[in-house]
Amino acid sequence: MSNLAVKIQERRQEEKKHAKQTLVVKRKRSSITLGEKLLFVVFLFLMLVCSIWIISNSVKLYQANIEMQKIEAEIENQEKINSDLNLQVDELKRPERIYKIAKDLGFTLDPSKVKGIQD
């Protein structure tokens, strides 16, 4: 029996050592919880989406401004062309010019056949 008692004592000692070893091994918890990590990731995602949205709006605004400047330049150019054409029309419809061309072509002015037009 003494042999049996020694074996039992050895088992108890081994169990105590094993129990001490398992008690010593503890998981160390991180200071940031899973929920906090999730909130942080969601916050970063929202910041990324907002940044992309702001940048895309800025690019659209920049492109619209460039297009508007091009259109304004075209309008200004067309107004200049219209002004030049109006000056040319005024020059060509002068009565003295028309009378001179008619005289060169052999037409004569008969005052009895001239009718005045009221504006």
Average pLDDT per 10 consecutive residues for the chain, totaling 119 residues: 72 73 60 92 98 98 98 98 96 91 88 77
User: Using CA atoms, how far apart are residues 57 and 5, in angstroms rounded to an integer?
Assistant: 84
> Looking at residue 20, what is its pLDDT?
57
| 99 and 109 Cβ atoms separated by less than 8 Å | yes
Cα three-residue angle 68-74-75, rounded to 5 degrees: 90
Cα-flanking dihedrals φ and ψ of residue 103, to 5°?
Answer: -65, -40
Backbone angle region of 26, left / alpha / beta, with phi > 0 → left and psi within -120 to 50 → alpha: beta
Nearest Cα neighbor of 3 from 11, 15, 16 is: 11
> Looking at residue 17, what is its pLDDT?
72
- The two tokens of residue 18 are 């094993």
